Structure 1
Amino acid sequence: MKTMVWNRLLVFMMISTVMGVSVKTSEAEDVYKIQTMEDVVVTATRTTERIMDVPVTTEVITREKIEMSGATHVGDLIGKYITGHYHKYNGLLSPVGLRGFRTDAHGDDVKGHVLILVDGHRIGTGNAAKLNVDRIERIEVIKGPASALYGSAAMGGVINLITRKGQGKPSLTLSGDYGSFNYYKGRVSGEGEVNERFRFHAVTSYEDVDDYDDPKFGTVYNTWETKKNFGMNLSYALTSNHELRLGGNYADLTGGYPSWANFMTYGGYVKSARQNYDKSHGYADLEYNGDFFDKAVHWRALGYHLWDRNHWNYGSPDPESDQTKYTDTTWGTDHQFTWNTAPWNTLVFGLNLEKLEKESSGVSGGQPAAPFTPGMEYNSQAYFLQDALDVWNNRVNIVGAVRYDRFELTTRKPKTGTFASFVEKDEAYNHTSPKLGIGIKFLDELLRVRGNVGQGFKSPSADQLSAQYKTNTNVTYVGNPDLDPETSLTYEIGFDIFHDLLTFRTAYFHTDYKDKIVQTTTTLNGQRAVTWRNSGDAKIAGFDLNLAWAMGRTFHWPLGLSLWSNVTFNTTKKDEETNKDLKYISDYEVKSGLDLQYNGFSAQLSYVLVGPQMIDNWDTWPATTEKKESFNFWDMTLRYRFANHWEVRGSVLNLFNDRVEWVRGYLMPKRNYLVGVSYTF
């Protein structure tokens, strides 16, 4: 009952804001800044642009919101602030989604339909739970297809993690946190501008938590986690027009995942469960930025190395006797040239080269065994071109882009296991992705009307195209070289109101999803074989709404108080072949909150509501489809900075002890607490 009262109060405040708020100008200091048209983003066009000049739906999670979230990884940030889809399991696994698409359920970067970047290049995983928040300055989220600039997987959108580079006088911060379930975290960070040429940001942390309790079953045994993180950015200005940056992060991530006593009844967890994992992850990048021809041409060059491990031990007394291990290693380079051909025209062109190798191995009964999937190799080359026109005194912004991708994919024999036969085959294909957007501003940029259309795609995996092997249990896998990539064609129309005190944005989107790749069976040499085919089309449509209101300045209050709300309604989500609802797309999502600042005190009260969705129920084989009902929860965070050096903070997560179930059967923690203190030298 208490939760229902709060829900109704927040809905009333949102409706009052949209229907009838009297917005006044104010000379008071903007202590809590809402997003305005002057805020800049880089992901939507690969160039620095005002958000008002970008015609695609763009959302930003600022550093302030990261600090107020109570979240320790990117997955929980997306779950709290961005509407789309969050698929959180216990066991440090959190795929994330946008516009009806999501990253791969097991975090495989190249198999996802949403792309996660760090500082503009692939981060090497689709598992957002692996990504620590300590180094992130802000997160830019592009909703809708972005394959015209970023290639495969950018069907539902792009999530770009922009890291902290260091600013201000050099400083050192010591930080400690303690919370429910014996959670503790120690962190040391430093940043600053050493001189006019050199700046840095570095952070290292150790984080540990025991098994948590959920509101229904009590202790969820074997959900412990241990995280060790280190990351840095070192930037050096060679001259006023040329700068180098060396950055990277390494995360040692280990933990356990639980077992149900009975999957058919969900009656409780097995206390003696021993399954555990190593999901460590890392990357390093070297970036050069240079201006030429009196700053008319800018060259950004990136070289990067990505490394991602997914290692499962399946609970044997000897942890080495039953396990599967996958390790992805990527080398890549990305070059972008930005040419300001005229004050009203910017041309962007560039190329991307990548090589990814997936090594796989397994052990069963103490003996080397074949893993679930073979090894794979991906070689890709891409070329992209974008033209941005700002005409009629920047009242009209037109952006068109196109990208050409070529892939050479190979299925490799795993490092372990015996096979009746295994042929390592290569297959190649190419794909072109276009995009066009336009924004028109009225009333001295108070109002903007915008629209865009674009194509997204996801490449078939190497085994889907080129597998040719038979296991020692006589199961044959054969790739389909005639597979087409999965594609989506999306058009979007919307309007935005940007005012110093009130921002309101809304958009209608419609996506035609084609050539979904599914596993099937065929006959090869008179025997049954597993293969893949393109199957059917689907339609996804709905509305996005974003609201931010600087209430404190509107009413001339001597504090910063802001109301924000992000809402998505998925009005259409149909499989055209079966005429049934697509799975794992909720009917609606609401993510709202109140932010408050006064002198050194900050507070956030946030609310998440996830509507019903169709899901698979794996209690039986084959799975049945059923409806998963809605759920909601509240979080609250308080922070206080004082004496120029100290900060104390506290969070209450799942404030009303609700049943939070992002995935059926995987309940999240009951009401839990977190307190911390920091000192900056």
Structure 2
Amino acid sequence: MKRKYQLKPIAACLLILPAAAMAQSGQVSTLSPVQVTPDTFTSKERAQATSDFVIEADAIRRSPATNLSELLIEQGFAVEATPTDHGENTLVLRGFHTEHLMTEVNGKLLILIDGRRSGVANIRQIALSNVERVEVLRGPDMFRYSMGSPGGVINVVTRKGGPERFGGSIRMGYGSFDTQRIGIDLHGKVDDFDYLVGYERGRVARDYKDGEGEKVHNTKTDGTERLNFNLGYTFGERHRISVDGYHYKVDAAHRPSYVDEEGEIRDANYTDRETQLFYLNYDGSSQDGHLSWNANIGQGKDVYETWSGNLYPKGQKVSTDRAQGSLSYTSSRFDLTGGVDYIKYDVENSSSARGAFLQKGGRDPEWAGKGFPMHPTSETTQWGAYMVGTLKLMEGALNLSGGLRYEYVRAKDKAVGDEHYDRVPYFSSRGITSRDQLPTKRSFSHVSPTLGVSYLPTEWLKLRANYTQGWRAPSGRQLFASSFYEDYGAPGDPRLSPEFTKAFEAGFDIAHEHWRLSATYFRYDVKDNIYIYPGVREDGTGAQGRVMMNVDKRIQEGFEVQASANVAPLLGYSSVELRPYFNVTHMTRKDEVVREGGPGMLGAWWPITRVPDTTMSYGVRFHHPASQFSGNLNFSYYGKQYGGRANVTDGPLVGFGRFTVANLSLRKRLWGSDVSNSLDVKLDINNLFDRQYSYLGKVPDDAYAYPGRSFYLSMIYNF
């Protein structure tokens, strides 16, 4: 066991004192002031009746994060993160999760790229090299995309082509555990044609060590690559046709494993993954700018396969077709937007309900030891239409917002007739003796409202409140899945009901020239929550195995606070930015009951699993223009949470969490003063104080430890 150093988080501030000291140089008086946050709300912010959270480009640039998962953790969001690319990185927002089972349609949150469904459930898949900002959308903004994400929608806004000249950047880096990455971005504009292309490839060639200095076996990744492009043509000054695409691929991301007494590595499997998106887009506006419209069609593919030397390969392929369009009118008195959207998910899986028969030595004469190949299992189709608007009164001091969204969902079981299709054993205890007793098609529809108000008694203070009804139909996979792998050991139930959520939030925002403060109270009452749960017998005694089921009631309640301030002007340094920040989400209640008023275990209220009671991010961002030196010191606190339940009679597993991880990022311009023809060096130090921790369970009883202190040094040439 290596020696541990107990350092106070405040001591880390010593690492950034040189930046503040530079502000005392004689050059400061000749510099232009650092750009600061506007001292009033923008017109968009004034009208918003929900909490507004945006991660701007500057914060992304100064972050050590390389993907969306790491960035959201740094900003104080809860993420069930894996340290490598082998598994899912599930975002938790106010108690709601992105999809745990690799399929976007099953999730309670949506991840958008440029306002369109990404098809991505694993937030680690989204790189940050060409991201302008990340937005959290709720209320009317959420209704533009889905009413099944009442906790919020994450929208990743990427850069477009331009400016006039040809430019770009090349970056190369090397770090701990033999981590290597290289990337290139190209952008420009020729007459009316603009373009942007980005590519990145990396690998982790050695297993990492945890905060105790112990090696975590089988944690390297053979290769990861990301490609994105956006090609556009503008005509008539106000019309643009474009194509854009996104490609993500992981080659053999190894899963953390253990070594037995004989020194053999056990559970040594790895994951291959590939995601592709392609869109054709059209955007236009009227000459006066009041009217605007857009339309797009696209296709996507997401493939996930896990390989092991001891078991059959298993995986999933999801193909999607999607389209959407909208028309908006804006004026000084009101804004109005209407739109339609469509998406279809076709799911294939490589295992079936008789998956145990397929292992080596299994009883299946044809497929034993080989694995059952990809075959269609379910189909889910969604149509939606919405109308949202804002009425601006008292010269914009009072804003009334609202809207309606209609959704129609159709799901189909495509595994009927498959020789390995057999769901009956899982339902025999509930009186189901034949497949013919279970439906193979389901359809659902619903209309939900959203209502909000924002009021500005002064130019620097905004009061707001919003009520939104959320609704989400069960997906084809949740209804009809028949394999162990399709749903992690829980078969689908064709009799599931849709979820219904009542969402309410209220809060205030303060905007000042040098500081911002926001606070929000929220409460969600969920009826018939669709969840993988240890089943309970009708008399409320004992477990009945894991099943996909409707949980009667679920309550998620808490508050959020965000604050930041540039304190440098208060110290007399107008040309330096020194900005402490603080973001916290605290759950005051997170409980659920399988059947309220039911006998025994059925009527007991349980803590919601996989939701930390508190997540908090705090730190300091700094920037010294004279020396072109900037950085970010960040502390991320992850509160207590409960793991999943192996047996409902055991109650929640032992809680874990309550740890803080510190990261430091420093960036320095080596030569060149303009954006082009310059060279930067960037140093990222993750887990600065070598903390032993895990987002998945208690170490070492329930989960493997995450990487200890690691370094990554990169060079960025801008041209």
TM-score (norm 1): 0.86
Question: Is 1:260 matched up with 2:258?
Answer: yes
Q: Which residue of 2 aligns with 1:480?
A: 494
Alpha-carbon distance between aligned partners in 2 of 1:178 and 1:620, rounded to the nearest angstrom: 47
> What is the Cα deviation at residue 572 of structure 1?
1.3
> What is the Cα deviation at residue 83 of structure 1?
2.7
Q: Which residue of 2 aligns with 1:551?
A: 567
Q: Which residue of 2 aligns with 1:110?
A: 105
Counterpart contact for 1:590–1:609, Cα < 8 Å:
yes
Question: Is 1:580 matched up with 2:583?
Answer: no
Alpha-carbon distance between aligned partners in 2 of 1:350 and 1:450, rounded to the nearest angstrom: 25
Q: Which residue of 2 aligns with 1:495?
A: 508
Alpha-carbon distance between aligned partners in 1 of 2:67 and 2:606, rounded to the nearest angstrom: 34
Q: Which residue of 2 aligns with 1:511?
A: 524
Alpha-carbon distance between aligned partners in 2 of 1:393 and 1:624, rounded to the nearest angstrom: 53
Question: Is 1:631 matched up with 2:627?
Answer: no
Question: Is 1:425 matched up with 2:440?
Answer: yes
Q: Which residue of 2 aligns with 1:17?
A: none
Identify if the C-alpha distance between structure 1 residues 275 and 217 changes in structure 2 by more than 3 Å, giving closer, same or farther.
Answer: farther
The amino acid of 1:65's aligned partner reads A
Alpha-carbon distance between aligned partners in 2 of 1:138 and 1:268, rounded to the nearest angstrom: 50
Identify if the C-alpha distance between structure 1 residues 614 and 470 changes in structure 2 by more than 3 Å, giving closer, same or farther.
Answer: closer
User: What secondary structure does 2:69 align onto?
Assistant: helix
Which runs of no fewer than 5 residues in structure 2 stay unpaired? 14-28, 352-357, 361-366, 424-434, 539-543, 597-603, 698-702
> What is the Cα deviation at residue 28 of structure 1?
8.0
Q: Which residue of 1 aligns with 2:450?
A: 435
Identify if the C-alpha distance between structure 1 residues 397 and 189 changes in structure 2 by more than 3 Å, giving closer, same or farther.
Answer: same
Question: Is 1:409 matched up with 2:422?
Answer: no
> What is the Cα deviation at residue 432 of structure 1?
1.8
Identify if the C-alpha distance between structure 1 residues 621 and 88 changes in structure 2 by more than 3 Å, giving closer, same or farther.
Answer: farther
Instruction: Pick from 72, 78, 101 the counterpart of residue 78 of structure 1.
Output: 72
Identify if the C-alpha distance between structure 1 residues 459 and 371 changes in structure 2 by more than 3 Å, giving closer, same or farther.
Answer: farther
Q: Which residue of 1 aligns with 2:18?
A: none
The amino acid of 2:469's aligned partner reads Q
Q: Which residue of 1 aligns with 2:159?
A: 164
Q: Which residue of 2 aligns with 1:607?
A: 635
The amino acid of 2:44's aligned partner reads R
Q: Which residue of 2 aligns with 1:450?
A: 464
Identify if the C-alpha distance between structure 1 residues 253 and 470 changes in structure 2 by more than 3 Å, giving closer, same or farther.
Answer: closer
Q: Which residue of 2 aligns with 1:275?
A: 269
Identify if the C-alpha distance between structure 1 residues 156 and 268 changes in structure 2 by more than 3 Å, giving closer, same or farther.
Answer: farther
> What is the Cα deviation at residue 398 of structure 1?
1.6
Alpha-carbon distance between aligned partners in 2 of 1:529 and 1:548, rounded to the nearest angstrom: 48
> What is the Cα deviation at residue 372 of structure 1?
11
Deviates more, 1:111-120 or 1:365-374: 365-374
Alpha-carbon distance between aligned partners in 1 of 2:417 and 2:547, rounded to the nearest angstrom: 22
Deviates more, 1:356-365 or 1:614-623: 614-623
Counterpart contact for 2:229–2:245, Cα < 8 Å:
yes
Q: Which residue of 2 aligns with 1:344?
A: 333
Alpha-carbon distance between aligned partners in 2 of 1:146 and 1:409, rounded to the nearest angstrom: 26
User: What secondary structure does 1:52 align onto?
Assistant: helix
Deviates more, 1:420-429 or 1:379-388: 420-429
Tell me the alpha carbon deviations over residues 335-357 of structure 1, each in whole angstroms, 9 at most, x when there is no partner: 101023x5311111110011111
Tell me the alpha carbon deviations over residues 617-665 of structure 1, each in whole angstroms, 9 at most, x when there is no partner: 6699978522113010111111012314111110111000012311111
Which runs of no fewer than 5 residues in structure 1 stay unpaired? 11-25, 40-48
Identify if the C-alpha distance between structure 1 residues 249 and 469 changes in structure 2 by more than 3 Å, giving closer, same or farther.
Answer: closer
Counting strand residues as a fraction of each chain, which structure ranks higher? 1
> What is the Cα deviation at residue 371 of structure 1?
8.3
User: What secondary structure does 2:177 align onto?
Assistant: helix
Q: Which residue of 2 aligns with 1:660?
A: 693
Alpha-carbon distance between aligned partners in 2 of 1:72 and 1:476, rounded to the nearest angstrom: 34
Question: Is 1:206 matched up with 2:222?
Answer: no
RMSD: 3.3
> What is the Cα deviation at residue 389 of structure 1?
1.0
Alpha-carbon distance between aligned partners in 2 of 1:303 and 1:268, rounded to the nearest angstrom: 55
Identify if the C-alpha distance between structure 1 residues 29 and 400 changes in structure 2 by more than 3 Å, giving closer, same or farther.
Answer: farther
Alpha-carbon distance between aligned partners in 2 of 1:449 and 1:627, rounded to the nearest angstrom: 37
> What is the Cα deviation at residue 38 of structure 1?
4.8
The amino acid of 1:428's aligned partner reads S
Instruction: Write the mapping of 1:35-184 to structure 2, written as runs, cut at 5 A.
Output: 37-38=40-41, 50-88=44-82, 90=84, 91-142=86-137, 148-151=143-146, 153-168=148-163, 169-184=165-180
User: Identity across aligned pairs (percent)?
Assistant: 23
Counterpart contact for 2:160–2:230, Cα < 8 Å:
yes
> What is the Cα deviation at residue 106 of structure 1?
3.1
The amino acid of 1:640's aligned partner reads K
TM-score (norm 2): 0.82
Tell me the alpha carbon deviations over residues 211-264 of structure 1, each in whole angstroms, 9 at most, x when there is no partner: 2111237221111122111111112111112111211111111211122357xx
Alpha-carbon distance between aligned partners in 2 of 1:509 and 1:178, rounded to the nearest angstrom: 43
Identify if the C-alpha distance between structure 1 residues 293 and 250 changes in structure 2 by more than 3 Å, giving closer, same or farther.
Answer: same
Question: Is 1:325 matched up with 2:299?
Answer: no
Identify if the C-alpha distance between structure 1 residues 414 and 323 changes in structure 2 by more than 3 Å, giving closer, same or farther.
Answer: farther
Question: Is 1:335 matched up with 2:325?
Answer: yes
Tell me the alpha carbon deviations over residues 353-394 of structure 1, each in whole angstroms, 9 at most, x when there is no partner: 111111112364464655899711111111101111111101
Identify if the C-alpha distance between structure 1 residues 415 and 88 changes in structure 2 by more than 3 Å, giving closer, same or farther.
Answer: farther
Identify if the C-alpha distance between structure 1 residues 457 and 29 changes in structure 2 by more than 3 Å, giving closer, same or farther.
Answer: farther
Question: Is 1:535 matched up with 2:564?
Answer: no
User: What secondary structure does 1:280 align onto?
Assistant: strand
Identify if the C-alpha distance between structure 1 residues 563 and 618 changes in structure 2 by more than 3 Å, giving closer, same or farther.
Answer: same
Number of aligned positions between the proteins: 638
Alpha-carbon distance between aligned partners in 1 of 2:651 and 2:304, rounded to the nearest angstrom: 25
Counterpart contact for 2:491–2:548, Cα < 8 Å:
no
Counterpart contact for 2:77–2:93, Cα < 8 Å:
yes
User: What secondary structure does 1:516 align onto?
Assistant: strand
Q: Which residue of 2 aligns with 1:194?
A: 190
User: What secondary structure does 1:187 align onto?
Assistant: strand
Alpha-carbon distance between aligned partners in 2 of 1:436 and 1:224, rounded to the nearest angstrom: 49
The amino acid of 2:180's aligned partner reads Y
Alpha-carbon distance between aligned partners in 2 of 1:581 and 1:529, rounded to the nearest angstrom: 19
Identify if the C-alpha distance between structure 1 residues 468 and 654 changes in structure 2 by more than 3 Å, giving closer, same or farther.
Answer: closer
Tell me the alpha carbon deviations over residues 35-70 of structure 1, each in whole angstroms, 9 at most, x when there is no partner: 76556xxxxxxxxx6223312112111222222221
Deviates more, 1:186-195 or 1:630-639: 186-195
Counterpart contact for 2:147–2:448, Cα < 8 Å:
no
The amino acid of 1:338's aligned partner reads S
Which structure has the higher relative contact order (CA within 8 Å, separation 6+)? 2
Counterpart contact for 2:657–2:695, Cα < 8 Å:
no
Counterpart contact for 1:435–1:455, Cα < 8 Å:
yes
